[in-house]
């Protein structure tokens, strides 16, 4: 009986490995891409790069806009202080929120709030 089970097991092909990439359930890289460039990492990289670019451009754009409109350096300096002050005030509450939500959810919420604030500032 054991011989029949061994023969039957040897005749069965191995199951296919799980699919990775955009159509698979693994969320891993597709063929030909480095392991770090998984689908989730691509989303993170693009979102984080856009967020960092917006943070780098905002002070320059605000200062240039104020100086072009004829405001002095003092007004540009105050505007830089007003850009930093909310960060200094809200960072105190960030730790409390980080304890209550997952890192992924916090990152998404923070980036959406960042996008909303920058769009509103650009429209005003």
DSSP 5-18: HHHHHHHSPPPPPP
Task: Classify residue 7: in a domain, yes or no.
Answer: no
Q: Mention every residue, 6+ apart, whose C-beta is less than 8 A from residue 106.
A: 97, 98
pLDDT in tens, 63-110: 999 999 999 999 999 998 988 888 888 888 888 888 898 988 988 888
Task: Classify residue 88: in a domain, yes or no.
Answer: yes
Q: How confident is the model at residue 118 (pLDDT cuts 50, 70, 90)?
A: confident
Task: Classify residue 29: in a domain, yes or no.
Answer: no
Rounded to two decimals, the pTM is 0.48
Task: Classify residue 119: in a domain, yes or no.
Answer: yes
d(CA 116, CA 124): 12
Say if residues 114 and 51 touch (Cβ distance below 8 Å): yes
Task: Classify residue 111: in a domain, yes or no.
Answer: yes
Task: Classify residue 122: in a domain, yes or no.
Answer: yes
Q: Which is more confident, 2 or 83?
A: 83
Backbone angles phi, psi at 70, to 5 degrees: 100, 5
d(CA 37, CA 29): 6
Task: Classify residue 8: in a domain, yes or no.
Answer: no
Q: How many structural domains comprise the chain?
A: 1
Q: Which is more confident, 83 or 10?
A: 83
Range of the domain at 52: 47-124
């Amino acid at each position: 009986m054991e011989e029949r089970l061994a023969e039957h097991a040897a005749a069965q092909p191995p199951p296919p490995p799980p699919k990775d990439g955009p159509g698979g359930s693994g969320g891993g890289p597709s063929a030909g891409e480095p392991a770090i460039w998984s689908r989730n990492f691509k989303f993170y990289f693009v979102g984080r790069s856009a967020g960092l670019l917006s943070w780098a451009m905002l002070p320059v754009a605000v200062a240039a806009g104020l100086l072009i409109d004829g405001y002095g350096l003092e007004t540009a300096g105050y505007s830089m202080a007003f850009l930093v002050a909310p960060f200094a005030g809200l960072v105190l509450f960030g730790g409390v929120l980080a304890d209550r939500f997952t890192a992924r959810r916090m990152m998404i919420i923070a980036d959406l709030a960042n996008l909303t604030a920058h769009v509103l500032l650009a429209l005003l």
